[in-house]
Amino acid sequence: MADKLKDPNTLGFLEAAVKISHTSPDIPAEVQRSVKEHIMRHTRLQRQTTEPASSTRHTSFKRHLPRQMHVSSMDYGNELPPAAEQPTSIGRIKPELYKQKSVDGDEAKTEAKTCGKINFSLRYDYENETLIVHILKAFDLPAKDFCGSSDPYVKIYLLPDRKCKLQTRVYRKTLNPTFDENFHFPVPYEELADRKLHLSVFDFDRFSRHDMIGEVILDNLFEASDLSQETSIWKDIQYATSVSTALLPGLLEDLQFWI
C-alpha cells in the first residue's frame, strides 16, 4: 500500500496528492503535472464516450444512402430499360404527314368546286300525283374539249327507280348553259319521303364515250319546302369521274345508245 502511494503513476498517488492539496498549500510540481495530465486524459475519455451517438447517426444515414443509390442504379437484367430512357420514333407526331393530308383534302375540295353549280326547282302536282323537276341552268362548268368549252347535258333520275331515264338536250360549246326544261315523274305523294333526286351532268362527245362532269344527289326532296309551290334550289356539282354504283346499269345502257 505504501509503494502505491509513492508511485506517481498510480491512482493512489494521485488521490493522495489531491488529499494533500486540501491540507497543504505547497504541492510538489510533479504532483501538479500528474494531476493535470490525469484530468486531461479523463476529459478526453468523456468526449470519446459522447462520440458514438453522432457516429451512430452518421452510420444510420449511410445505411439509407446506399439504398437510395441502389434504387437509382437498379439492374433490369434482360428487361428493357424504361421507355423514357430509350429513344424511339414510335408515337411521335410528324406534322409534315398531317400537313400533306390536309393539302390533299384541300385539293379534293377544290376539284369538287371547279365542277360548277346547277340550278333547278321542284314542285308536286297533287291532282296528277306527279313530281315536276325544272332544270333551269348550270354555271361555271369545266372545259372538256380542246377549244376550252363543253357540250353539256343533264340526266335526271328519281331513285330508287333506274328505269325512268330523263335528260335535257345537249347545249353546244358553253360552260354556262340555260336549260329551262321540265320533267315529270309520276309518284304518289306518300312515297316522296323515300325517293332521291339524282342529277348527272355529262359532256357530249360525238366520237367517243361521253365524259362525266359531276353529279348532284338530293336525299331529302322536302329540303327546301313542302313542294306545294315551285322552289328554286342551287347545288354544287360534285366532282366525279364515274357514275354512282346504284345508277351504273341504267347509265351504261344510255351510253351504249349514244355511242
Looking at the structure, do residues 42 and 126 belong to the same domain, yes or no?
no
pLDDT tens, residue by residue, 162-215: 888 899 999 999 999 999 999 999 999 999 999 999 999 999 987 667 789 999
Please name which of 187, 186, 161, 173 lies closest in space to residue 247, comparing C-alpha atoms. Answer: 161
Quick one: how far is CA 160 from the chain centroid?
39
Tell me the C-alpha distance between 200 and 213, whole Å: 8
pLDDT score for 22: 47
Identify the domain containing residue 123 by its residue range: 114-258
Query: Does residue 101 fall inside a structural domain?
Result: no
Looking at the structure, do residues 43 and 151 belong to the same domain, yes or no?
no
pLDDT tens, residue by residue, 16-61: 555 554 445 555 666 667 766 766 776 555 555 454 555 555 555 5
Reported residue count of the chain is 259
Looking at the structure, do residues 48 and 157 belong to the same domain, yes or no?
no
Tell me the C-alpha distance between 53 and 61, whole Å: 12
- Residue 206 vs residue 2, higher pLDDT: 206
Query: Does residue 126 fall inside a structural domain?
Result: yes
Query: Does residue 95 fall inside a structural domain?
Result: no
User: Model confidence at 147, in pLDDT bands (50, 70, 90)?
Assistant: confident
Query: Does residue 79 fall inside a structural domain?
Result: no
Over residues 82-98, mean pLDDT: 58
Please name which of 139, 122, 231 lies closest in space to residue 178, comparing C-alpha atoms. Answer: 139
Looking at the structure, do residues 246 and 177 belong to the same domain, yes or no?
yes
Please name which of 112, 117, 113 lies closest in space to residue 234, comparing C-alpha atoms. Answer: 117
CATH of residue 122's domain is: 2.60.40.150
How far CA 56 is from CA of 51, 62, 67, 123, in Å, comes to 9, 10, 17, 101
Task: Report the number of secondary-structure helices (H) and strands (E) in the chain.
Answer: 5, 9
Asked whether the predicted pLDDT for residue 9 surpasses 50, the reply is yes
pLDDT tens, residue by residue, 55-85: 555 555 555 555 545 444 455 555 555 555 5
pLDDT tens, residue by residue, 120-143: 999 999 999 999 999 999 999 998
Looking at the structure, do residues 51 and 173 belong to the same domain, yes or no?
no
Helix (H) or strand (E) holding 241: none
Please name which of 156, 124, 117 lies closest in space to residue 140, comparing C-alpha atoms. Answer: 117
Query: Does residue 71 fall inside a structural domain?
Result: no
Looking at the structure, do residues 154 and 236 belong to the same domain, yes or no?
yes
Looking at the structure, do residues 125 and 231 belong to the same domain, yes or no?
yes
* Residues 6+ positions from 57 with CB-CB distance below 8 Å: none
Residue 198 near residue 90 (C-beta atoms within 8 A):
no
Give the chain's domain count: 2
Looking at the structure, do residues 167 and 234 belong to the same domain, yes or no?
yes
Looking at the structure, do residues 123 and 200 belong to the same domain, yes or no?
yes
